[in-house]
Chain A
Amino acid sequence: MSKSVLSGKGVTKVFGLGDKKTVAVDHVNFKFSKGELVSIVGESGSGKTTLVKMILGLLSPTEGDIYFMGKKRDIRTRKQKREYWKGIQAIFQDPFSSYNIFHKIDSVLMDCINMRGGSHLPRDEKIKMITEACGFVNLKYAELTNKYPFELSGGQMQRLMIARIFLLKPQILLADEPTSMIDACSRATILDMLLQCRNEVGMTIIFVTHDIGLAYYISDSVYIMEHGKFVEHGTADQVILSPTADYTQRLINDVPKIHAPWDFAKVASTVSAQA
């Protein structure tokens, strides 16, 4: 317990130069423990995706260090990167974007097994694994064979991405707004599957969202991000039930709730006209 699988010190990303300079991520520190389900919550443009890309190794930090399994991460060569990605994987907001749409679904899942060094396995064995992964996300393998990704709905596609994660079994899963393009009522399924990945497979999950309600439902601990900085961090109950940062307070106030309805008479004073 509490052994850090991933941590960061002073992680910073600056885009552009001079007048056009954007500090997207501004000296953030974090520490994620094994099996922990952590949320990073912030409004759009707060720097969440930029941080995810740095953690994933798709962007290099302008400043700061990332530690993976206790050691400073070194992914300068392609080989090192490939090795790193065995331990850390991601799913994104648009499940279609991270997919080669010209690959049939079964071949995509087959590749996952090969990636994990299973290329020598007999075909039967592979199909058994794929069937199990599809079962995990409540999809029927038989219905997917020979289909292309664009023949699936957004929700089905996102589940397929989780099936892929189930086969790859990374130690860490980064989920960047995985439900924001999905109907409110299919969200529950995706959240439950993520919980299962943690509970049954033992993954560490970093769940990125703009929806503080989702973060509260799913996570053990929560980081609140504002303009590239973490302004608050604590257990889900601490952060949501007794927030200390003004920004967290505002997020919670402004999100529609069902036990404490909005009071429109008080709205103007809390929101800036430029928003």
Chain B
Amino acid sequence: MGKAILEVRDLTTKYITRFKEDVYAVDHVSFTVDEGRTLGIAGESGCGKSTLALSLMGYYFSPLYYTGGQILVDGRDITNMSPDEVRKNVLGTEVAYIPQAAMNALNPTAKIIRFIEDVIHAHDLKMSKKDIYDLARERFEILNLPSDVLQKHAVELSGGMKQRTVIAISTILSPKVLIADEPSSALDVSSQKLVIKMMYDLMRMGYIKSMIFITHELPLLYNVTDNIMVMYAGQIVESGTAKQMVFDPVHPYSKGLMNSIIVPEEGTRDVKLTAIPGTPPNLKNPPQGCRFAERCKYAQHLCHTSFVTMRRFGEVDPGLLGGEDEGDAVAERNRAYRCIVPIHELKAAYAEEDAARRRDKEAVSYE
């Protein structure tokens, strides 16, 4: 435990559009995921979450380009490998990515077993049809999928079964990192819960070593992750333990996200939700200074000009996230954020606002 499975340092990637414009969708991103841990990535749509996920595979194709940084999987840098090497030795075995809406992208004319055979063959593994079938059956069982699903077509499966099938296919080669991009947003709540439980089972049994979970649904992230990073306009603005991020965010953007959480729990009706005004900036021309400044109610003159880097409580290794249960103190130290306003000032402002949100909702009459 505590061993770093994935270490990302200063990763920067960009899209080059048809019109030769650069879109900096992943900008100097650093973080670590330890063995047995789950990291969540939160942020509004367009903030670069999917691009970060894509970039983590180390496999770049137009219009996405790598411009700098390192991705170490189990200590080995995958950014200096050739595309062929990445395809054979990284994708699916080191890092597996389940894209958004993958479950609806399964080729409808192929039987499920074919997808698994394809994955095995793409890696030049010498396995007999029978061995592949046995492997598939074993994994399907863990995911609570009857083995006759292997002989079926995607259209014959329910949403939840399709999503679990996608997970089984993606993890067939026991990747060290599984990245799931909005894996459950199309599912009903009960199938969603089941799908996530099974991803956990895969990790508990050692078939995958760590997970990255992407969604803009914060209550979901809170339930499934150890740590959460908040992404805004291609950058990580804050990271910390799931609990810190949901109950005690520091960065104004994180705080804005948390103020929009809706759960069916006592008390939520009494607090007025607030939304962050405006929309994320266009990443072709990201604003100078803090990228959030245009929408931030605490913005000061300096925010629009200065280069705001990640700050930390106390001194600790860059990018290191809370992990082991060494107590809150360590977790607190390990948390990073990117804002020029001191924490105590932000927190004082939040306390006042939270009280006002309570009063506000009381003022709304329900009669």
A: which residues have CB within 8 A of B? Answer: 1, 37, 43-44, 153, 155, 183-189, 191-192, 195, 199, 210-217, 220, 236-237, 240-241, 250-252, 254-262, 264, 267-268, 270-275
Q: Which residues of B contact A1 (CB under 8 A)?
A: 367
Within the assembled complex, what's the spacing in Å between the Cα atoms of A183 and B45? 7
**Which of A214, A251, A260, A272 lies in contact with B262, CB distance below 8 A?**
A214
B190 interface residue, CB < 8 Å from A?
yes
Q: Which of B73-81, B123-131, B253-261 contacts A (4 or more CB under 8 A)?
A: B253-261
Q: Is the CB of A210 within 8 A of B188?
A: yes
Q: Is the CB of A187 within 8 A of B256?
A: no
Q: Is the CB of A217 within 8 A of B45?
A: no
Q: Which residues of A contact B256 (CB under 8 A)?
A: 185
**Which residue of A has the minimal Cβ distance to B215?**
A184
**Min C-beta distance of B291 to chain A, whole Å:** 16
Within the assembled complex, what's the spacing in Å between the Cα atoms of A235 and B4? 50
Within 8 A of A (CB), among B209-226: 216-220, 222-224
Q: Which residues of B contact A188 (CB under 8 A)?
A: 259-260, 262, 273-275
Within the assembled complex, what's the spacing in Å between the Cα atoms of A270 and B194? 9
Q: Which residues of B contact A240 (CB under 8 A)?
A: 264
A258-B246 CB under 8 A given contacts A187-B260, A212-B264, A216-B269: yes
Within the assembled complex, what's the spacing in Å between the Cα atoms of A217 and B270? 8
Specify the main secondary structure of chain A where it touches its partner.
helix
A273-B223 CB under 8 A given contacts A184-B260, A185-B275, A213-B262: no
**Min C-beta distance of A225 to chain B, whole Å:** 13
**Min C-beta distance of A155 to chain B, whole Å:** 8
B366 interface residue, CB < 8 Å from A?
yes
Q: Which residues of A contact B45 (CB under 8 A)?
A: 183
Q: 0/1 per residue, B234-263, Cβ < 8 Å to A?
A: 000000000000110000000011011111
**Min C-beta distance of A43 to chain B, whole Å:** 4
Q: Is the CB of B364 within 8 A of A195?
A: yes
Q: Which residues of B contact A183 (CB under 8 A)?
A: 44-45, 216
Q: Is the CB of B269 within 8 A of A184?
A: no
Q: Which residues of A contact B147 (CB under 8 A)?
A: none
Q: Which residues of B contact A37 (CB under 8 A)?
A: 366
**Total of A-B residue pairs, C-beta within 8 Å:** 138
A187-B189 CB under 8 A given contacts A216-B269, A257-B219: no
**Which residue of B has the minimal Cβ distance to A195?**
B364
Q: Which residues of A contact B193 (CB under 8 A)?
A: 254, 256, 262, 267, 271
Within the assembled complex, what's the spacing in Å between the Cα atoms of A191 and B272? 10
B144 interface residue, CB < 8 Å from A?
yes
Q: Is the CB of A213 within 8 A of B191?
A: no
Q: Is the CB of B268 within 8 A of A275?
A: no
**Min C-beta distance of A274 to chain B, whole Å:** 6
Q: Is the CB of A184 within 8 A of B263?
A: no
Q: Is the CB of B261 within 8 A of A199?
A: no
Q: Is the CB of B197 within 8 A of A184?
A: no
Within the assembled complex, what's the spacing in Å between the Cα atoms of A259 and B266? 9
Q: Which 7 A-B pairs have the closest CB atoms?
A: A188-B273, A188-B275, A256-B219, A267-B197, A275-B191, A254-B189, A189-B275
Q: A185-B44, A261-B222 are in contact. List 17 more A-B contacts (CB 8 A).
A: A43-B190, A184-B261, A185-B216, A186-B44, A212-B264, A213-B262, A220-B366, A255-B264, A256-B193, A257-B219, A258-B265, A259-B263, A262-B193, A271-B190, A271-B197, A275-B188, A275-B190
Within the assembled complex, what's the spacing in Å between the Cα atoms of A191 and B269? 12
**Which residue of A has the minimal Cβ distance to B257?**
A185
B158 interface residue, CB < 8 Å from A?
yes
B119 interface residue, CB < 8 Å from A?
no
B365 interface residue, CB < 8 Å from A?
yes
Q: Is the CB of A258 within 8 A of B217?
A: no
Q: Is the CB of B158 within 8 A of A184?
A: no
Q: Which residues of A contact B262 (CB under 8 A)?
A: 187-188, 211, 213-214, 216-217
**Which residue of B has the minimal Cβ distance to A264?**
B197
**Min C-beta distance of A256 to chain B, whole Å:** 4
Q: Is the CB of B265 within 8 A of A257?
A: yes
List 13 A-B pairs, Cβ < 8 Å.
Answer: A1-B367, A184-B217, A185-B256, A199-B365, A240-B264, A241-B266, A258-B261, A262-B224, A264-B196, A267-B193, A268-B197, A273-B194, A275-B191
Q: Which residues of A contact B259 (CB under 8 A)?
A: 188
Within the assembled complex, what's the spacing in Å between the Cα atoms of A53 and B261? 30
Within the assembled complex, what's the spacing in Å between the Cα atoms of A237 and B272? 16
Within the assembled complex, what's the spacing in Å between the Cα atoms of A267 and B144? 13
Within the assembled complex, what's the spacing in Å between the Cα atoms of A265 and B279? 40
**Min C-beta distance of B182 to chain A, whole Å:** 11
B192 interface residue, CB < 8 Å from A?
yes
**Which residue of A has the minimal Cβ distance to B247?**
A258
Within the assembled complex, what's the spacing in Å between the Cα atoms of A44 and B223? 23
**Which residue of A has the minimal Cβ distance to B220?**
A256
A273-B144 CB under 8 A given contacts A213-B262, A213-B264, A257-B219: yes
Within the assembled complex, what's the spacing in Å between the Cα atoms of A210 and B144? 25
Within 8 A of A (CB), among B257-296: 257, 259-266, 268-269, 272-276, 279
Within 8 A of A (CB), among B110-168: 144-146, 158, 160-161
**Which of B223, B263, B265 lies in contact with A262, CB distance below 8 A?**
B223
**Min C-beta distance of B197 to chain A, whole Å:** 4
Within the assembled complex, what's the spacing in Å between the Cα atoms of A214 and B190? 17
Q: Which residues of B contact A271 (CB under 8 A)?
A: 190-191, 193-194, 197
B200 interface residue, CB < 8 Å from A?
yes
Within 8 A of A (CB), among B323-354: none
Q: Is the CB of B273 within 8 A of A217?
A: yes
